[in-house]
Amino acid sequence: MTELLTALALVMVIEGLMPFISPARWRDVFSRILALSDGQIRFVGLISIVMGLFGLLWLR
């Protein structure tokens, strides 16, 4: 359980970096993401999941 909470905390830190460092750029990227279709967003999510799983396998 501690590992899961640690992982979630790290995700929050990483997710907060871009809006903290460059809020204007983050807003621009976010508006471009809103313009994508549902299928494109799902594909990006799938790629992220697959890369995360490979990263976990590599680290273990």
- Give Cβ neighbours of residue 26 (< 8 Å, ≥ 6 apart): 18, 19
Predicted local confidence at residue 2, as pLDDT: 87
Share the mean pLDDT of the chain. 92
Could you give the number of structural domains in the chain? 1
Residue 1 makes CB contacts below 8 A (sequence gap 6+) with none
What is the domain range of residue 26? 2-59
Please tell me the predicted confidence (pLDDT) of residue 21.
Answer: 95
- 31-56 tens-digit pLDDT: 999 999 999 999 999 999 999 999 88
What span, in angstroms and rounded, lies between the C-alpha atoms of 36 and 51? 21
Task: Say whether pLDDT at 14 is over 90.
Answer: yes
